[in-house]
Chains A and B, each alone.
Chain A
Amino acid sequence: MKTKYLRQLVIAAALTVGGASVAAADCPVKVGVALPTSVDWGKPIAETALWVADMINEAGGVDGCPVETILRDTQVDAKVGVDAAKAMVDLDKVQLMMGAVSSGVTLPILTSVTVPAGVMQISCCSSSTRITGLAEEGSTKGLWFRTFATSNVQSAVLTKLAKDAGYGKVTVFYKNDDWGQDMASLLDNALKASGIEVAASIAITDNQPSYRAEVTEALGGNPDAVILALYPKEGIAVTREWISLGGTTKMVGANSLRSEEFRDAVGMQYLGDFIGADTSSPRTASASAFVEAYKAKFGGEPSGPGLPNSFDAAAISLLAYHAAGNGATGAEIAAKVPMVTDPAGEPVDANVEGFKKAMALLSEGKSVSFQGGTGAVTFDANGDVSAPAVSWVFTETGIDERQYIPLEEVNAFIQSLN
């Protein structure tokens, strides 16, 4: 192990001395993964990303070269995350960086590491509208992508579901972090614009001894329904408290609650009226491949926040890497992303067979339409994902998707709010 590493170092050093800016075309292809593995929801996200790399290797690797993922823990600490990213970019010469989760870490990595070095960065889970602003300024140089819908789309879909269900007055519980605060203010606007009264909008700060006071405050508003923009851990605590104090079981939840942990801990008997929102296209037989493959690998449904998004981020970026070829620069990889997510391309599944097929087609210079865990993803000019929406419900055996809302309808609804 050690000698192998040393040899790689020597080779890498030799290559960098030899040709200054030419990216080394050596095997294996190194890919940086900066995710918060020391955090509850971060671990499965990282496991999913590593699993995709294994599948790509099984399918033949990037441009015939096996992928070597370098997983670094960001500890949700900007200092640590940026250092890890910097080390991977400078020392391991990665041209592709996956991560991070929290926008407070993703943003400094983007501005002080990946963009200056011309490395492509793709995140599964950062939703901050600050990054869209950065991309609009042109500061991301087209190197940035994310497979997680922006808070803008998420809040619009939640509002639409609440409106369609006929709720006239709602209370919002939101996670008190960058994502949640973004969601809360966007939800507030969207709900009011569509004629729904917001009884209260209540911040749920992580790791509090008790959420009783917050829940009691919400009960006072006497809403028809609650909207939950929470992660499973505090979502469980708040929802259990809410129900035990006699709150309504009419709930609309963000995709972060799409988790068996949440369902089991709250209990099916209280989740009959729960409607969830997510971004996804209809699950044709081929697009369910992700779910099947995930079950086969991990022995359970992919039911944590960000798992399908992590899968897609890893798969799309690695397929683009393959299309760009071993030795490609970050900008070259980023330029190939549209080839992988071409709606007119040949649909390919999210499993080893699909990857084999996609890689063969991409090598021939043909574009494909990757059918990932969140459906057929496409990116706009800012690297933001645009995907149709779906509503889902909890069932005894898992999570069922109910109603698909086409992209046009989502966009029309967002327009109607302005």
Chain B
Amino acid sequence: MIQNLMDGILTGSIISLGAIGLTMVMHMLRFANFAYAELLAIGAYAALVFDRLFAALVPVMDQAFGGLSLTWSLTLATLAAMAITGLSAVLIDWAIFKRIRQKADALSMVFASFGVALIIRNVITLIFGLKAELYSNDIAFAMVLSRDPLLLIKPDQVFVLVAALVLMTIFHLVLSRTTFGFALRAVAENPALAQVAGVPLARIIIVVWMIGGAFSAAAGVFYALTNHLSPLIGHNFLLPVFAATIVGGIGSVYGALLGGFIVGIASGLALQVLPSGYSPAMPFLIILAVLLVRPQGLFGEAEQT
């Protein structure tokens, strides 16, 4: 029970990172982006490439920090992957979504994102193959926090949780303390009004894609660090990330943060009741529950249709 709760929090932190960018993009561009979760996969694989590269160039960097499977090269690779993924997100928007936005309606974009997701996933498959890849083959053992009830935690997971929280805190400070943050929130909450007030929408969209891409890359690396890489990472996280966004309320950054944790914890706890085969359906049940009880999400504003 407590173990499931804790594991849920850890998975939740990864979902949260993925949901931050999605909620902003969905709100600003007004479409459900089914390709968004593929950014996690781009990030994880980009980090894999850089990790191998750095480790080969400077072998000393391949030393793991005590207890963690994290190395210096992977740390640097993660930063590089965040930049690369952010740029890819901008590039994809520029090459595809922006053009479709100008021509067709938002729902065509939803479908375009289906196609983009399929392309990204299969390009990754073509390059890396479908087998499971690992940053490090060593198994990092869990620490026993308590024997009864059994409570185990892996050092990597603690690191991931802390790192995720640090990223979120930095983002919070930017949002709440800087002019740029105000502009960003203004656009996220009401794009039309913000534009009237003189916020350059096009530039903000680029920044949002950068941020979303970077956070997704971090989520992808963190996931792969505690599990493994596979071209299907994005596909696997699609529904959880959507669920987090809806739980939090589309457009609400803090909602997405909290939503990620709620989805993670609920999925973990659900296994107490449901057979594990049903776990893929869990995020969907959460979505349904939210839509029944509070359709606008925890922090969303009521929709006026």
Contact = CB atoms under 8 A, between A and B. Distances in A.
Interface of A: 38-40, 43, 176, 202-205, 207-214, 216-217, 219-220, 232-233, 236-237, 240-241, 243-246, 261, 264-267, 270
B277 A205 contact: yes
A216 B271 CA distance: 10
Nearest to A212: B7
Nearest to B228: A237
Contacts of A209: 11, 14-15, 223, 227, 236-237, 240
A353 B152 CA distance: 57
B216 interface: no
B58 interface: no
A265 B134 contact: yes
B139 A233 contact: no
B83 to A, nearest CB: 25
Interface in B93-149: 125, 129-132, 134, 137-142, 144
Interface string B1-25: 0011001001100110000000000
Given A40-B130, A219-B150, A220-B150, A210 B144 contact: no
12 contacts: A43-B130, A204-B276, A205-B277, A205-B279, A208-B280, A209-B15, A209-B237, A211-B227, A232-B131, A232-B132, A237-B228, A246-B152
Contact of A213 (B144, B223, B232, B268): B268
A105 B239 CA distance: 27
For the complex of A and B, 10 pairs with smallest distance between CB atoms? A40-B130, A203-B277, A213-B271, A212-B7, A214-B276, A245-B142, A207-B232, A233-B132, A207-B236, A176-B277
Contacts of A232: 131-132
Interface in B250-305: 267-268, 271, 275-277, 279-280
Given A245-B152, A265-B137, A213 B131 contact: no
Given A204-B276, A208-B280, A233 B131 contact: yes
A237 B139 CA distance: 11
Interface in B37-89: none
B137 A244 contact: no
Given A209-B11, A210-B227, A219-B150, A244 B141 contact: yes
A217 B276 contact: yes
A232 B11 CA distance: 23
A43 to B, nearest CB: 8
Given A209-B15, A236-B134, A264-B137, 5 more contacts: A43-B130, A213-B279, A219-B150, A261-B131, A261-B132
A38 B267 CA distance: 30
A246 B132 contact: no
Contact of B230 (A43, A207, A214, A261): A207
A243 B139 contact: yes
B139 A267 contact: yes
Interface of B: 3-4, 7, 10-11, 14-15, 125, 129-132, 134, 137-142, 144, 150, 152, 154, 223, 226-228, 230, 232, 235-237, 240, 267-268, 271, 275-277, 279-280
Contacts of B138: 267
B280 A217 contact: no
B280 A205 contact: yes
A212 B131 contact: no
A246 B141 contact: yes
Given A40-B129, A208-B280, A246-B141, A216 B3 contact: yes
Contacts of B144: 246
Contacts of B132: 232-233, 236-237, 261, 265
A217 to B, nearest CB: 6
Contacts of B10: 212
A288 B22 CA distance: 54
A236 B268 contact: no
Contacts of A244: 139-142, 154
B280 A214 contact: no
Contacts of A203: 275-277
Contacts of A214: 271, 276
B175 to A, nearest CB: 27
B50 to A, nearest CB: 21
Contacts of A241: 227
A231 to B, nearest CB: 10
A204 B131 CA distance: 17
Contacts of B4: 213, 216
A40 B230 CA distance: 10
B178 to A, nearest CB: 33
B139 to A, nearest CB: 5
Contacts of A208: 236, 279-280
Nearest to A40: B130
Contact of A207 (B139, B142, B235, B271): B235
Contacts of A213: 4, 7, 267-268, 271, 276, 279
B161 to A, nearest CB: 13
A233 B133 CA distance: 9
B136 to A, nearest CB: 10
A198 B19 CA distance: 40
Contacts of A233: 130-132, 230
A220 B271 CA distance: 13
A246 B268 CA distance: 19
Contacts of A43: 129-130
Contacts of B227: 209-211, 237, 241
A39 B130 contact: yes
A32 to B, nearest CB: 24
A21 to B, nearest CB: 42
Contact of A210 (B11, B129, B275): B11
A220 B4 CA distance: 12
A318 B94 CA distance: 53
Nearest to A233: B132
A261 B134 CA distance: 11
A217 B276 CA distance: 10
B131 A246 contact: no
A249 to B, nearest CB: 11
Nearest to A180: B277
Nearest to B270: A213
